[in-house]
Amino acid sequence: MKPILILGGTGKTGRRVAERLTSRGLPIRIGSRFGEPAFDWENPATWESSLRDVGAVYITYYPDLAVPGAADAIGSFSRLAVESGVRRLVLLSGRGEEEAQLSEQSLRDSGADWTILRASWFCQNFSENFLLGPVLSGTVALPAADVPEPFVDAWDIADCAVAALTEVGHVGQLYELTGPRALTFAQVTEEIAKASGRDVRYVQITAEQFTSMLAQEGVPAEVLALMTDLFTKVLDGRNSHLTDGVQRALGREPRDFADYAREAAGTGIWGGAK
């Protein structure tokens, strides 16, 4: 079998896709600036060598499909993939993001055998990078109102991606991926506190306070704009409803946030009670 190219193969979902495929004895190629060959979204000259002799591609876009130029890049890459003989392309997208849907359409227009995974907020945002620091500090401060979000486990996303990359029946499918229940950020921190034995609470702040906090931490301007847009627009309740994407793709229920929290706490990432 030809290698499966995993773009963003060291990221939250990409490395999990890589692990699942490798455990099944399937050949993979990690697409990153430090890969061999190197892949860089900002340097189209790196795309062709990464696609050489590849059978399928899992596509994640950095920093986000909502940034200007993402749809053009997805379209150009997808067309090149098809021209290179790579038919099956699986795109990770986001729920409720109008800009991301432009990239989805670019994928559809490429002539590829496509599958789209339109995911909710990742559970793993609380234990890997973004919100790990705030959890460890005991206070998660965000400009998110009392609006529930059906957080999805990154392992469920990875399993859906692997199914779409390796099995029949997923071509032309758009799977909206959510967890089995919707939780507010206050409820999420309660689950983390229960699982970890730590005192963790949620504090709602204004968008201006959030922007100022990120700027003081040295967050790049383009990422700052993305994060502000996420909390002021996407997390407005439009994605609070549950979907059956995981069930349709895998034939099983998605993992609950409480299961994720217990597993994460068991790794020691959040430490013990304080």
Does a structural domain hold residue 128? no
d(CA 239, CA 242): 8
CB-based contact 10:62 (threshold 8 Å): no
The dihedral built from the CA positions of residue 42, 95, 140 and 262, taken in this order, carries a sign that is negative
| Cβ contacts of 167-171, under 8 Å, gap ≥ 24 | 170/115, 170/249, 171/88, 171/113, 171/114, 171/115
Q: What angle do CA 145, 118, 115 make, to 5 degrees?
A: 180
* Region of residue 56 (phi > 0: left; psi between -120 and 50: alpha; otherwise: beta): beta
Contacts of 254 (CB under 8 A, 6+ apart): 152, 153, 156, 177, 178, 179, 180, 246, 247
* Percent of the chain whose predicted confidence (pLDDT) is above 90: 83
Does a structural domain hold residue 77? yes
Query: Order of strands across the sheet with 56-59?
Result: 28-31, 4-7, 56-59, 88-94, 113-119, 173-177
- pLDDT tens for 236-268 read 999 999 999 999 999 999 999 999 999 999 999
In 3D space, the residue among 206, 204, 195, 62 whose CA is nearest the CA of residue 127 turns out to be 195
Rounded to the nearest integer, the mean pLDDT of the chain is 95
Q: How much is the pLDDT for 78?
A: 98
pLDDT (mean) for 46-70:
95
Peptide bond into 63 cis (omega under 30): yes
pLDDT (mean) for 137-164:
96
Does a structural domain hold residue 117? yes
pTM, rounded to two decimals: 0.96
SS3 166: helix
Does a structural domain hold residue 101? yes
pLDDT (mean) for 104-123:
98
pLDDT (mean) for 200-217:
92
Rg, the chain, Cα only: 19
- pLDDT tens for 157-184 read 999 999 999 999 999 999 999 999 999 9
- pLDDT tens for 186-199 read 999 999 999 999 99
22-31, 65-74, 76-85, 212-221: segment of lowest average pLDDT: 212-221
pLDDT grade for 231, boundaries at 50, 70 and 90:
confident
Q: What is the CATH number for 84?
A: 3.40.50.720
Does a structural domain hold residue 107? yes
Token code pair at residue 151:
């957080």
User: Does pLDDT of 224 surpass 50?
Assistant: yes
Maximum C-alpha span of the chain = 57
The enclosing H or E element of 57 equals: strand 56-59
Does a structural domain hold residue 132? no
Q: How much is the pLDDT for 273?
A: 55
CB-based contact 177:157 (threshold 8 Å): yes
Q: How much is the pLDDT for 274?
A: 46
Does a structural domain hold residue 102? yes
Domain count, the chain: 1
Q: What angle do CA 97, 95, 18 make, to 5 degrees?
A: 115
State the residue range of the domain holding 99.
4-123+151-179+241-254
Q: How much is the pLDDT for 221?
A: 80
d(CA 7, CA 32): 6
CB-based contact 149:242 (threshold 8 Å): no
* Percent of the chain whose predicted confidence (pLDDT) is above 70: 99
Q: How much is the pLDDT for 19?
A: 98
pLDDT (mean) for 46-56:
97
Does a structural domain hold residue 250? yes
